[in-house]
Amino acid sequence: MKGICLFFEVHQPLRLKRYRFFDIGSDHYYYDDYNNETILREVAQECYLPANKLMLKLIKKLGPEFRISYSLTGVLMDQLETYAPEVLDSFRELAATGQVEFLAETYSHSLASMANKEEFIKQVRMHGDKIKKHFGAEPVSFRNTEMVYSDETGSWVADMGFKAMLTEGAKHILGWRSPDLLYCNSINPRLKVLLRNFQLSDDIAFRFSNRDWNEWPLTADKFAGWINKRDDDAELINIFMDYETFGEHQKAETGIFEFMEELPAAIMTSTDYTFMTPSQIAEEFQPVSALKVPDPVSWADEERDLTAWLGNDLQNAAFNKLYSLADRVSNCNDEDILNDWIYLQVSDHLYYMCTKFFSDGAVHQYFNPYESPYDAFMNYMNVLSDFEIRLDAACPGDDVNQEIVSLRKKLEEKEEEINERVIEIRRLRSKVKSLTISSTASGEEKKEKRKTAGAAVKQKKQGTGGKKPVPKDVKPAGKGKTSKTKQTKRSK
Amino acid sequence: MKVLMFGWEFPPHISGGLGTASYGLTRGMASIPDIDVLFVVPKAYGDEVKEGLDLIGANNVKVAYKQIHYRGESRSFDKIEVDSQIVPYTDPEDFWKITRQEEKDNRLIVETNDRGMLDFTGSYGSGLISEIDKYSIVASVIAAENDFDLIHAHDWLAYPAGLAAKEVSGKPLVIHVHATDFDRSGGNVNPVVYNIEKQGMEAADRIITVSNLTRQTVINKYHIDPSKVTTVYNAVEPQGGIYDEYEKRSINDKVVTFLGRITLQKGPEYFIEAAYRVLQVMDNVRFVMAGSGDMMEKMIRRAAELNITDRFHFTGFLRGSDVYWMLRLSDVYIMPSVSEPFGISPLEAMQSNVPVIISKQSGVAEILTHAVKIDFWDIDAMADAIHAILSYPALSEMFIKNGREEVENLKWENSARKVREVYLEAVN
């Protein structure tokens, strides 16, 4: 038995508005509603709606033999709820056929897996809840943001109970091995790892409409032929791509929808591959070996690493700043802050700061609303500054604030101590007074006492010295008092 | 190939980017073996840097009794075989006599000093137009006396000189547009200057512009055939650690610097408005407007009006090493020019490890990647960029690191090589 897995990533970033530094502290709304709505509506019209319609048609036509899988990010679902609920309806229709699997991922399409395990787990759960709410079933397969994968991330995912995880069939992790087989996580072998066949995937996603490509035009039959030509021991072809390939990256005029319409039938008739979803594959196939991936991989650029998001000092500074707030946010209950926290983690914010675009031009600029990476960084950091101010106000917690809190505490303690001492002084003074009155009743001395309290106290001390020792620490207070009285007298 | 080059100023006697650029270019050309440059300026002081080129001051060329060709009419060279005479005069009496005759003959009357030479100030003063004329006369003398294959004239002040040399020698003329009057005047073009520029451009065999921005001006405003206009970007002389000599800090506050002529073209008022915005939010920052110019008083008044003079400083015109010191003190350099054909100064700032903010209306914006680019009028964006560079260390460090690398790759040799290609086109 051989399986082919069609998986689509469905994501739209929540773009930030132009946020100037004078907005910091006064404007707490960060999003470019106009652009987000416009772009989402456009993509819905050009891609999501027609593509979903096509998939539904194929499912109905081909029956249970045709299966596909999706990952919808939480940020996308939030936007769909607001701007294009009909798209969610059409996904629900697909879900209802039972032939579509929805995968889990981080709610905000974030790189939390690279920074903070707790945050990562929290986001995956949050996303799972959302998927369940919309499509009725808890996801059992996982794919991380931009196919980011490492042994460690995989083990976390396994610990959370997922059976399968998707990632890139990057050459440098595979070496001589084939992506067309099932692998498993090297720490926790219970997690099956599906590897993207980037050759075949990109033939559709990137090269489909490229007229300079010697295989242009690509037809469904030709593609099915390539699948047949894979190695004899190939068991599994994983075609993973952006859903926006249909109608957005490859416009409808290129014939991408027609290609997709023909493709399943072509594969079914001329190859022995069966359409399967990741969870089915995890059930049906045995992993051939564990895959060692100590350093994270992704499906981006030539390098297949994280340098598109964390490749320069700007990106690292922004990323570190963001996740330095994680602990405090987790202690915070303010709903708005928690909401913004999710949206500020969207990995696209970092992607816009990528300076690689000078060499890896086309793709990066295509998706970038900013004029330069510097521009993206400035805007993001301004937003983050405001966010931190709000966080400070809602849940103080960083070093400075902790310092302030601890100093305030110290101050209160001191105040209390002073109060205690003052009471003690009063008590002692009244005692001294009563003693003086009882022991010495000379009128001269009384006069003198009225004149200079200090001298009186001194004399009193001398007088009482033998009888009762005055506590040491009261002395300075007494002296202070004395000099003060003197001063006020002099000023008079 | 021998090039007769006409400029207006030469280091160290410079008032702006023109002298720096012409010097840098000749330095770059010195690295190309098959090109010799004879550089002419109106006034040579004798202390100019003369590595790799010959420098002539027009004030040291004897014009008395030289046979030079009269350039009063637009006839082509080969038809005017008869050269007319420059008649030197030294006192008003002579002048009167000569001018009476002038109507009859095709003579050109100029005032010489008692050594038979023309006096030049080499400045941009009131007698500029007559000085340009005189310069062109000397140019024809020099053209007649020297052997060369091509004439290269820098900016409108030297176009008439280049034209005169071309008429005398018949050699191809390349003019180098460092700026046009549209940049200098902010739109109120001086018709006299415009005509000089247009004549130069029309007569030139090839035109070099310092940016595509300027190229478009030449094509659209002077109606020049695009095919003869080529952009060759300026570069910057490596400074080799000159900035390290200066003490970095004497104050703890961050310093944001505007350095240049305080004139309409440079957009100083936008800098003040942006400073005001930043100062409303940040208190550890100072702003410096270094330079002088016709808008300086207005700017001081505006700063006072905004009540920011305790944080906004004017230095007046900075000379020589003071410029380096100022850059060394700066945390941000800003060039909000309304119209800047190129703009070498941000490159110097980047050399001295200062992040730069430049206007999109500058030619240098076409080649720089590691700089903040804003519209000159976008005060909010300018203020935002200043704040960001001062507040987010990662940003400032990126700009410094990448910026330095970027300017190190802008070499005059590369510009010179491109100029050479233009020469070859002009000669053939």
Element (H, E) at B57: strand B54-57
State residue A461's pLDDT score: 47
What are B276-315's pLDDT values in tens digits?
999 998 989 999 999 888 888 999 999 999 999 889 999 8
d(CA B367, CA B262): 25
Average of per-residue pLDDT across B320-328: 83
* B158 close to B135: Cβ distance less than 8 angstroms: yes
B388 touches chain A (CB under 8 A): yes
* B239 close to B348: Cβ distance less than 8 angstroms: yes
Residue B399 distance to chain A (closest CA, Å): 9
Task: Say whether domain B242-408 belongs to CATH 3.40.50.970.
Answer: no
CB contact under 8 A, B385 and A358: no
Q: Which two tokens stand for residue A293?
A: 């991936």
CB contact under 8 A, B393 and A317: yes
Q: Is residue A414 part of a domain?
A: no
d(CA A303, CA A298): 9
Res. B203: pLDDT tops 90: yes
- Per DSSP, the three-state class of B192 is helix
State residue B309's pLDDT score: 87
A430 touches chain B (CB under 8 A): no
Q: Is residue A151 part of a domain?
A: yes
Out of A133-142, B76-85, B323-332, least confident range: B76-85
CB contact under 8 A, A21 and B392: no
A358 touches chain B (CB under 8 A): yes
B375 touches chain A (CB under 8 A): no
Residue B232 distance to chain A (closest CA, Å): 22
A361 and A448 in a single domain? The answer is no
DSSP code string of B299-365: HHHHHHHTT-TTTEEEEE---THHHHHHHHH-SEEEE--SSBS--SHHHHHHHTT--EEEETTBGGG
- Using only C-alpha atoms, chain A has a radius of gyration, in whole angstroms, of 35
Nearest neighbour of A312 by CB, restricted to B278, B369, B398: B398
Element (H, E) at B286: strand B285-290
Partners of residue B372 in chain A, C-beta under 8 Å = 372, 374-375, 378
* B43 close to B58: Cβ distance less than 8 angstroms: yes
pLDDT tier at B245, thresholds 50, 70, 90: low
Strand pairing report for B67-68 and B84-89 = antiparallel
A339 touches chain B (CB under 8 A): no
B366 touches chain A (CB under 8 A): no
Place of tokens 């004798």: B46
**Smallest Cα–Cα separation from A157: which of A109, A196, A123, A195?**
A123
* Residue predicted with more confidence, B362 or B68: B362
B405 touches chain A (CB under 8 A): no
**Phi and psi angles of residue B335, each rounded to the nearest 5 degrees, phi first:** -125, 90
Maximal CA-CA distance, chain B: 75
Torsion of CA B368, B371, B373, B376, to 10 degrees: -100
**pTM for the complete prediction?**
0.77
Length of chain B: 428
C-alpha distances out from residue A120 to A115, A127, B368, Å:
8, 11, 39
Within chain B, all domains assigned CATH 3.40.50.2000 are found at 2-62+125-235+413-427, 242-408
B400 touches chain A (CB under 8 A): no
d(CA B290, CA B316): 6
Torsion of CA A75, A79, A81, A85, to 10 degrees: -120
**Phi and psi angles of residue B230, each rounded to the nearest 5 degrees, phi first:** -125, 140
B281 touches chain A (CB under 8 A): yes
Residues 371-390 of A with CB under 8 A from B: 371-372, 374-375, 377-378, 381-382, 385
CA A361 to mean position of chain CA atoms: 26
**Which domain-ending residue is among A394, A414, A431?**
A394
A327 and A431 in a single domain? The answer is no
State residue A463's pLDDT score: 46
Q: Any idea what the Cα angle at residue B232 is, between residues B230 and B235, rounded to 5°?
A: 170
Which pLDDT tens digits describe chain A residue by residue (492 residues)?
899 999 999 999 999 999 988 888 889 999 999 999 999 999 999 999 999 999 999 999 999 999 999 999 999 999 999 999 999 999 999 999 999 999 999 999 999 999 999 999 999 999 999 999 999 989 999 999 999 999 999 999 999 999 999 999 999 999 899 999 999 999 999 999 999 999 999 999 999 999 999 998 999 999 999 999 888 888 999 999 999 999 999 999 999 999 999 999 999 999 999 999 999 999 999 999 999 999 999 998 888 999 989 988 899 999 999 999 998 898 888 899 999 999 999 999 999 998 876 654 455 555 678 888 888 999 999 999 999 999 988 877 656 666 776 787 788 889 999 999 999 999 999 988 888 877 766 555 555 555 555 544 444 445 444 444 444 444 444 444 444 444 444 443
Q: Which domain holds residue A449?
A: 422-491
d(CA B110, CA B117): 10
Q: Return the HEC string of chain A.
A: CEEEEEEEEECCCCCECCCCHHHCCCCCCCECHHHHHHHHHHHHHHHHHHHHHHHHHHHHHHHHHCCEEEEECHHHHHHHHHHCHHHHHHHHHHHHCCCEEECECCCCCECHHHCCHHHHHHHHHHHHHHHHHHHCCCCCEEECHHHCECHHHHHHHHHCCCCEEEEECCHHHHCCCCCCCCEEECCCCCCEEEEECHHHHHHHHCCCCCCCCCCCCCCHHHHHHHHHCCCCCCCEEEEEEEHHHECCCECHHHCHHHHHHHHHHHHHHHCCEEECCHHHHHHHCCCCEEECCCCCECCCCCCCCCHHHHCCHHHHHHHHHHHHCHHHHHCCCCHHHHHHHHHHCECHHHHCCCHHHHCCHHHHHHCCCCCCHHHHHHHHHHHHHHHHHHHHHHCCCCHHHHHHHHHHHHHHHHHHHHHHHHHHHHHHHHHHHHHHHHHCCCHHHHHHHHHCHHHHHHHHHHHHHCCCCCCCCHHHHHHHHHHHHHHHHHHC
A231 and A304 in a single domain? The answer is yes
**Which domain-ending residue is among A379, A394, A409?**
A394
Sequence-distant (≥ 6) Cβ neighbours of residue B182 within 8 angstroms:
B189, B217, B221, B339
Average of per-residue pLDDT across B60-83: 36
A207 and A352 in a single domain? The answer is yes
A390 and A428 in a single domain? The answer is no
State residue B64's pLDDT score: 40
Out of A107-121, A151-165, B125-139, B225-239, least confident range: B125-139
Res. B141: pLDDT tops 70: yes
A389 and A433 in a single domain? The answer is no
A318 and A461 in a single domain? The answer is no
A262 and A149 in a single domain? The answer is yes
d(CA B376, CA B336): 5
d(CA A367, CA A361): 11
State residue A109's pLDDT score: 95
A170 and A317 in a single domain? The answer is yes
Res. B72: pLDDT tops 60: no
pLDDT tier at B238, thresholds 50, 70, 90: confident
State residue A440's pLDDT score: 66
A451 and A318 in a single domain? The answer is no
CA B260 to mean position of chain CA atoms: 13
CB contact under 8 A, A313 and B384: no
Domain boundaries B2-62+125-235+413-427, corresponding CATH code: 3.40.50.2000
C-alpha distances out from residue B205 to B18, B167, B170, B202, B394, Å:
21, 13, 11, 8, 49
Partners of residue A318 in chain B, C-beta under 8 Å = 394
* A326 close to A116: Cβ distance less than 8 angstroms: yes
Please provide the distance, in angstroms rounded to a whole number, between the alpha carbons at the two ends of chain B.
12
Q: Is residue A400 part of a domain?
A: no
Partners of residue B375 in chain A, C-beta under 8 Å = none
Q: Is residue A413 part of a domain?
A: no
Q: Which two tokens stand for residue A158?
A: 């396994």
Res. B415: pLDDT tops 60: yes
Partners of residue A378 in chain B, C-beta under 8 Å = 372, 384-385, 388, 392, 395
How deeply is B364 buried, as exposed, middle or buried, from its count of CB atoms within 10 A (0-12, 13-18, 19+)?
Answer: buried
Residue A378 distance to chain B (closest CA, Å): 6
Partners of residue B398 in chain A, C-beta under 8 Å = 312-314, 355, 374
Q: Is residue A404 part of a domain?
A: no
Residue B410 distance to chain A (closest CA, Å): 17
Structural domains in chain A (count):
2
Maximal CA-CA distance, chain A: 126
**From the CB of residue A334, how many other CB atoms can be counted at a distance below 10 Å?**
15
Q: Is residue A399 part of a domain?
A: no
Q: Is residue A17 part of a domain?
A: yes
Q: Is residue A173 part of a domain?
A: yes
CB contact under 8 A, B394 and A314: yes
A216 touches chain B (CB under 8 A): no
State residue B308's pLDDT score: 92
- Per DSSP, the three-state class of B150 is strand
Sequence-distant (≥ 6) Cβ neighbours of residue B211 within 8 angstroms:
B231, B233, B341, B342, B362, B363, B364, B366
Residue B241 distance to chain A (closest CA, Å): 25
Q: Any idea what the Cα angle at residue B266 is, between residues B264 and B268, rounded to 5°?
A: 80
A269 and A154 in a single domain? The answer is yes
Give yes or no: A412 in active site.
no
Sheet with strand B84-89: strands edge to edge:
B67-68, B84-89, B108-111
Q: By percentage, how much of chain B surpasses pLDDT 70? A: 78
Determine which one of A101, A105, A146, A244 is catalytic: A146
- Per DSSP, the three-state class of B289 is strand
A442 and A385 in a single domain? The answer is no
Q: Which residues pair with B208 in a beta bridge?
A: B176, B230
d(CA A244, CA B292): 56
Res. B330: pLDDT tops 80: yes
Out of A320-324, A404-408, B187-191, B217-221, least confident range: A404-408
